Amino acid sequence: MGFLEAEGVTRRFGGLAAVDDLSFEVREGEILGIIGPNGAGKTTLLNLISALLPVTAGAIQLRGRPITGLAPHEVAHLGVARTFQIVKPLKGLSVRENVAVGAMFGQSDGGRPTRPALAKADQEDAAAGAGRFHGKLPDRQSGSRHQASPPGPPIPSPSSPSRTASA
Ligand SMILES: Nc1ncnc2c1ncn2[C@@H]1O[C@H](COP(=O)(O)OP(=O)(O)OP(=O)(O)O)[C@@H](O)[C@H]1O
Ligand SMILES: [Mg+2]
């Protein structure tokens, strides 16, 4: 039995079958990539596995247990982690709380409750230079992070001679 199995998985958007009758099996410990041209259905498949979207047809199983029909948080609690191409903070939360949210999930023991997760965020804050997260909202923090970055070598603009010469 596969660790993660899909059988006849289909997702339609109106008349468009973004994922059409897809079956595959991933064994435990196996690392696989999914490739295909733009619009091939890669993101849609990841959305189906992580339950952000419901399947139109077919079934997905994790360790032999059907996960189609579960809510995204239920699938996450079973151990399916998902990252996004564009990482966005939870804007209503402080930077400290955003880091704590990251510490709450993805633990083999089912995750940290709020207080230990906040303690982990404080640990990370101390490692990054104490007090940098505290009370700050993500937008302001990302601005100050740019200001705090040490100056690096100048990045040539697309029109600069060195870039043009090497293109
Ligand atoms: N929410 C949606 N509503 C309608 N059509 C959608 C939706 N999401 C994706 N599609 C369509 O489904 C098809 C598959 O899209 P998907 O984003 O999964 O492709 P992809 O392989 O991830 O592409 P890319 O390489 O550009 O990221 C595309 O034709 C896309 O326009
Ligand atoms: Mg995509």
Q: In this structure, which CATH number among 3.40.50.920, 3.40.50.300, 3.20.20.70, 1.10.1060.10 belongs to the domain 4-77?
A: 3.40.50.300
Taking the alpha carbons of 70, 71, 77, 82 in that order, is the dihedral positive or negative? positive
pLDDT (tens digit, 9 = 90+) per residue, 40-70?
999 999 999 999 999 999 999 999 999 999 9
Q: Is the CB of 36 under 6 A from ligand 1?
A: yes
Q: Is the CB of 114 under 6 A from ligand 1?
A: no
The DSSP secondary-structure symbol of 18 reads E
This prediction has a pTM of 0.71
- 39 CA distance to ligand 1 centroid (A)? 5
Mutate which of 12, 22, 42, 82 to test ligand 1's pocket (most atoms within 8 Å of Cβ)? 42
* Whole-number CA gyration radius for the chain: 21
Per the model's pLDDT, the better-predicted residue between 159 and 74 turns out to be 74
Domain-wise residue ranges, the chain: 4-77, 95-145
Residue nearest to atom 9 of ligand 1 (CA): 44
What pLDDT score does 110 carry? 61
| Distance of alpha carbon 70 from alpha carbon 138, whole angstroms | 31
Mutate which of 38, 45, 53 to test ligand 1's pocket (most atoms within 8 Å of Cβ)? 38
pLDDT (tens digit, 9 = 90+) per residue, 11-27?
999 999 999 999 999 99
Residue nearest to atom 7 of ligand 1 (CA): 13
Per the model's pLDDT, the better-predicted residue between 142 and 9 turns out to be 9
Average pLDDT over residues 124-143: 72
pLDDT (tens digit, 9 = 90+) per residue, 63-119?
999 999 999 989 988 888 888 888 888 888 988 998 898 888 766 566 788 999 999
> Tokens in use for 9?
């998985």
Angle between helices 114-129 and 95-104 (to 10 degrees): 120
